[in-house]
C-alpha cells in the first residue's frame, strides 16, 4: 500500500491537481473579458484630493479605512485565517522530510526549514483548524450556513497535517501513519480544483483580476456573461 500511495497514486493526484487548476484558470479567463477603458478615470480626482488634505485628515482617513477593513472589524478571524493559510503553504513545501523524498526520487536538493520550526507551524495550523471547527459549531451566524461539506473540507485540509505530526513524532505504527499521511495529502490535492477548496484559484481571480469595489489591484477584467 505504501509503495502504491507513494508511486502511481501520487502521480494521479498530482496530474489531477495541476490539470484541475489549469482547467479552472482557463475557464475563468474564458468567462471574463477585458474591461473597456473608462472615459472618466479616477486618477486626477484622487491626486487633487491628496494635495488638499491636511496630514491630520489623511491620517484620519487611514484610521477609518483600517477600522472598516477586515482586520479592524474581525481581528481574531483575520489573523487566525492568515496564519492558517501561511502555515498551510509554507510547512509542507519546506519540510525536511519532503525534501528528502524529493532528493531520493529525483536527486533534486531543495531548501528546507529546521524540523522544530515546521513542527511548531504544524501545531499552530492544527490549533487554527480547531478554532475554525469550534467557530462553526458555536457561533450562530457560521452555523447557519455550514453544510456537512464544510466540516468535511476542514477535515480534509487538516488531516495531512495531523498524520504528518504523528509521523514525525512516530507515535503510532510508523508505516501505517505515513501511508495515511500520503493518502490524505493526495486527497487534499484532488479536492482542491473541484470543491470549495478551489478558492485557492478563485481568490486571486475574483479579488485581483476582476475589477470591483474591493479589488486589491486595478482589476481590468470583467465578467463576460
Give the integer Cα–Cα distance in Å for 172 and 177. 7
Taking phi over 0 as left and psi of -120 to 50 as alpha, with beta for the rest, 53 belongs to beta
Give the number of other CB atoms < 10 A from CB of residue 163: 21
Minimum Å distance from CB 49 to other proteins? Answer: 22
Nearer to other proteins, 58 or 196 (CB): 196
β-bridge partners, 222: 33
Distance between CA atoms of 53 and 76, rounded to whole angstroms?
33
* Cα–Cα nearest to 118, from 93, 154, 82, 152: 93
**Please, what is the minimum distance in Å from the beta carbon of residue 26 to other proteins?**
12
Cβ-based nearer residue to other proteins, 55 or 148: 148
Tell me the angle at which helices 75-93 and 148-169 cross, rounded to the nearest 10 degrees. 50
CB of 11 to other proteins, least distance (A): 26
Nearer Cβ to other proteins, position 1 or 70? 70
Rounded to whole angstroms, the Cα distance separating 163 from 174 reads 10
**Least distance in Å: CB of 196 to other proteins?**
6
> Contact residues for other proteins (CB under 8 A)?
27-28, 31, 70, 73-74, 77, 81, 139-147, 150, 195-196, 198-199, 202-203, 206-207, 210, 212, 214-215, 223, 225
By beta-carbon proximity to other proteins, the closer residue of 51 and 144 is: 144
Shortest approach of other proteins to residue 16 CB, angstroms?
A: 17
Closer by beta carbon to other proteins, 50 or else 71: 71
Residue among 141, 157, 132 nearest 80 (CA): 132
Amino acid at each position: 500500500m505504501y509503495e502504491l500511495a507513494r508511486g502511481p497514486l501520487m502521480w494521479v493526484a498530482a496530474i489531477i491537481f495541476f490539470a484541475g487548476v489549469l482547467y479552472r484558470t482557463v475557464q475563468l479567463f474564458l468567462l471574463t473579458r477585458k474591461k473597456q477603458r473608462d472615459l472618466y478615470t479616477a486618477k486626477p480626482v484622487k491626486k487633487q484630493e491628496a494635495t488638499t488634505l491636511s496630514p491630520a485628515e489623511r491620517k484620519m482617513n487611514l484610521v477609518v479605512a483600517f477600522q472598516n477593513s477586515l482586520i479592524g472589524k474581525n481581528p481574531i478571524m483575520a489573523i487566525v485565517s492568515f496564519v492558517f493559510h501561511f502555515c498551510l503553504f509554507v510547512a509542507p513545501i519546506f519540510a525536511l522530510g519532503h525534501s528528502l523524498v524529493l532528493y531520493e526520487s529525483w536527486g533534486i536538493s531543495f531548501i528546507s526549514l529546521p524540523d522544530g520550526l515546521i513542527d511548531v507551524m504544524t501545531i499552530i495550523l492544527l490549533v487554527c483548524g480547531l478554532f475554525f471547527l469550534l467557530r462553526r459549531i458555536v457561533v450562530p451566524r457560521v452555523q447557519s450556513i455550514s453544510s456537512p461539506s464544510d466540516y468535511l473540507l476542514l477535515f480534509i485540509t487538516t488531516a495531512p497535517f495531523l498524520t504528518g505530526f504523528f509521523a514525525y513524532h512516530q507515535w503510532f505504527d510508523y508505516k501505517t501513519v505515513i501511508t495515511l499521511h500520503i493518502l490524505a495529502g493526495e486527497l487534499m490535492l484532488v479536492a482542491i480544483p473541484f470543491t470549495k477548496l478551489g478558492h485557492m484559484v478563485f481568490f486571486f481571480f475574483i479579488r485581483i483580476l476582476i475589477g470591483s469595489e474591493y479589488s486589491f489591484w486595478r482589476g481590468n477584467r470583467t465578467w463576460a456573461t
